[in-house]
A and B are shown apart, each in its own frame.
Chain A
Amino acid sequence: MNFILIAVIVLGAIGLIAALVLFAASKKFAVYEDPRIAQVSGLLPGANCGGCGFAGCGGMADALVKGADAGSIDGLSCPVGGADVMGQVADLLGMAIANGEPKVAVVRCNGTCEHRPKIVEYAGLRTCAAMHACGAGETACGYGCLGCGDCVEACQFDAIHVKAETGIAEVDEEKCVACGACVKACPRGIIELRKKGPKGRRVYVSCVNKDKGAMSMKACKVSCIGCSKCEKECQFGAITVGNNCSYIDSEKCRLCRKCVAVCPTHAIVAVNFPNPAPAQKPKEPAAPAHTAPNGFAAEKKVEPVTRKEAQE
């Protein structure tokens, strides 16, 4: 009986002392964490994809709260959660949403097997990085998509795939969260995050070839030759041509698609428009081809109708 009592007293005493020590320590070494960080963390999707530029959702939550304290959460955006999540976060922090429009990854290469013939066979390691280090790849274009799928590997959202028929990477815009992992993975810098546009409508130059026109045409029929026709046509100053390649600024582009019509190589692509681009000359009945130089755009072209219907 005595033993039991002693044991209880001794253990009780140890427990009490330890509790006091722990209590003292927790007071003395307390680290204040803003309770809002945990709340914001809870709102974020928890994908830890790094698309926001921070190491994970925790880092983003921290930055958001700090930003709120400093007075602005501008420039912070969760690509996965999108406007919904950012709205909730902004409500929680009592801030105004100051986020730009949603973005989407765009593969700027149209060099399908048909447009860009293979001239050599590559036998080495089948990753884009290895192929890029070895040379121009299997086609004569030293700038285009290599089709080994480093971007597919990098995508955590199953939103980018290399199509067997075309041999180039294509983005599933429903799934793409614009985290930018594919942009970093692509050794050729073909993929760009562009403004998604109203109803997904976008106009962009689907080529990054910087060779002179004749050279790039030899390698690929739908390459940008840097002729500057689109630059002259654009009334909004959205198009710049440099290094033999044209670029459309998605911030300035008003989606008029006049550039699409004048592009002699069909390197400018317009996606998700319900009707074909306005034809410049009456002689061009083949205008639909402008919106659909590749199979991808052709498919997408029908999509808005169905989506609209679904919404209704």
Chain B
Amino acid sequence: MTAKTFRIGGIHPEENKLTHEVATKVAALPKQAIFPLSQHIGAPATPVVQKGDKVKVGTLIAEAGSFVSAPIYSSVSGTVFKIDTAIDATGYRKPAIIINVEGDEWEESIDRSEKLETVEAHPELTPDEIVTRVKEAGITGMGGAGFPTFIKLTPPPTAKAECVIINAVECEPYITADYRLMMEKADEILVGLQLLMIAAKVTKGYIGIETNKPKAIELLTQKCVDVFGGTEYYVTVVPLKQRYPQGGEKQLVDAVIQRQVPAPPAIPVNVGAIVQNVGTAYAVYEAVMKRKPLFERYTTVTGKRLANPGNFLVRMGTPMKDLIDACGGMPEGDNKLLAGGPMMGKALTSTEVPICKGTNSVTILSRDEARRKEPQPCIRCAKCVGACPMGLEPYLLAKLSEVENWERAEREDIVSCIECGSCQFTCPAHRPLLDNIRQGKATVMGIIKKRK
């Protein structure tokens, strides 16, 4: 089978998947867990606990702030130390619930057995029931952006879902958390996919995996035959050619079902696809079958100079420092700390930042790796145009943002930019293209919002 890929642009950065074959370890419990109230796209959650309250693992500590929002559950047992501010991945102090950890006592409602639950054994699971459980469990996209999952499962009446696409691409360099999850929890992921298909009322499912993970492709292909063979479900593993940013929703839809998602506000479901991260599928399984809300995730801690980079099953709220220490501590000298991978990751200013719902990796780059080169004048070579997966003209958008020509920038579709950084990566003149475009995009989006 020849590997597919998306049709416009794309690059192929060095993969550096250092931790592919490092089995997942369970991270130690932190002494203090920090839960920022804004871990997802949408309104921040509202705390429902107070200082001094006792919580268990899986206790609701903050409820959804509005429709587009998600509740937050405690990942530890202990006492609420304070509701204060803490530095989160944005780099600013934001409201957060801080819990002092005492023991490890779980809520009784959570099924902690290892037994694999199948959909057949649970006839009570109607689509609505699944969506409700997903919503209550506080599941948000586990790939990084953090959009509340239940909203994706209830598409607007104008759109009709035809298939669920599982995003197991992991095109971002360094990160291996999804790969480890697939290798270790394949059965659960497939049940999760089945639940997602039931919730979305479709029978077609795809799992998109890049060809640099042949073992995962083989394993999941085999399991798909075992699980879905002879049923009404049609699930295929789609091997994809390695190409960044294939893990972007729109790129993945194009790669898997060859359909182009129109410009915003269109979303993948407008062309019939619901895209969910493989980590989300697993979280859905745990939430629906084991009644376990989202408070743990697979995270890669990586970097070339780390003594023992690895993959961790980590309780949310654990400060990154703890994980870095578990990998042999921060390397000597100056480092760049990223929440996420080197392409899409967010640079952080503190190791106290906790692991959140969307933290798929902690990447540490050395000063030399992270150093930017001196920008040179643009020679209009159009490499960025060729690399842009959205078919935009990055050099133009960057210039328009620089000179603050917002009207033209809007006409040139600056809001379609997915901020993947392919343009900046490919620019031979090392121009800060994305830096400028991101500024312009934010401004133009503000202007559009004001107009409404």
Contact = CB atoms under 8 A, between A and B. Distances in A.
A130 interface: yes
A123 B349 contact: no
B435 A142 contact: no
A30 interface: no
A211 B93 contact: yes
Contacts of B334: 121
Contact of B439 (A119, A121, A129, A215): A129
A35 to B, nearest CB: 36
Interface stretch (B84-92, B270-278, B315-323, B388-396): B84-92
B347 A135 contact: yes
A124 interface: yes
Contacts of B92: 135-136, 142
A135 B90 contact: yes
Nearest to B90: A135
A120 interface: yes
Interface string A195-232: 00000000000000001100100000000000000000
Given A119-B349, A123-B370, A123-B371, A133 B93 contact: no
Interface in A106-129: 119-121, 123-125, 127, 129
Interface string B334-356: 10000000000001110000000
Interface string A36-67: 00000000000000000000000000000000
A149 to B, nearest CB: 15
A210 B92 CA distance: 12
A129 B438 CA distance: 11
B372 A123 contact: yes
Interface string A269-283: 000000000000000
Contact of B349 (A124, A136, A212): A136
Given A124-B435, A211-B85, A136 B372 contact: no
A53 B24 CA distance: 61
A136 B436 CA distance: 18
Interface residues of A, number: 18
Tell which of B85, B349, B432, B436 has the most Cβ of chain A within 10 Å: B349
A134 interface: yes
A140 interface: yes
A217 B348 CA distance: 21
A117 B251 CA distance: 43
B85 A130 contact: no
B352 to A, nearest CB: 11
Tell which of B85, B91, B347, B370 has the most Cβ of chain A within 10 Å: B91
B345 to A, nearest CB: 12
A12 B95 CA distance: 83
Given A127-B439, A133-B438, A133-B439, A215 B347 contact: no
A142 B272 CA distance: 43
B436 A120 contact: no
B442 interface: yes
Nearest to B92: A142
Contacts of B91: 134-136, 142
B435 A130 contact: yes
Given A136-B349, A211-B85, A125 B436 contact: yes
A125 B432 contact: yes
A124 B432 contact: yes
Tell which of B84, B432, B442 has the most Cβ of chain A within 10 Å: B432
Interface string A142-174: 100000000000000000000000000000000
Contacts of B370: 123
A125 B84 CA distance: 32
Tell which of B370, B372, B438 has the most Cβ of chain A within 10 Å: B438
A204 B231 CA distance: 74
A123 B347 CA distance: 10
Contacts of A127: 439
Contacts of B87: 136
Interface string A284-298: 000000000000000
A123 to B, nearest CB: 5
A140 B349 contact: yes
A136 B438 CA distance: 17
A208 to B, nearest CB: 14
Contacts of B438: 130, 133
A211 B87 CA distance: 11
Contacts of B436: 125, 130
A131 to B, nearest CB: 10
A6 B84 CA distance: 95
Interface in B68-104: 84-85, 87, 90-93
A290 to B, nearest CB: 29
Contacts of A135: 90-92, 347-349
A142 B439 contact: no
Interface of A: 119-121, 123-125, 127, 129-130, 133-136, 140, 142, 211-212, 215
The 4 closest A-B pairs by CB, nearest first: A135-B91, A125-B435, A120-B349, A125-B432
30 contacts: A119-B349, A120-B349, A121-B334, A123-B370, A123-B371, A123-B372, A124-B372, A124-B432, A124-B435, A125-B432, A125-B435, A125-B436, A125-B439, A129-B439, A130-B435, A130-B436, A130-B438, A130-B439, A133-B438, A133-B439, A133-B442, A135-B92, A135-B349, A136-B87, A136-B91, A136-B92, A142-B92, A142-B93, A212-B85, A215-B93
Given A119-B349, A123-B372, A212-B84, 11 more contacts: A124-B432, A124-B435, A125-B436, A127-B439, A129-B439, A133-B438, A134-B347, A136-B92, A140-B349, A211-B85, A211-B93
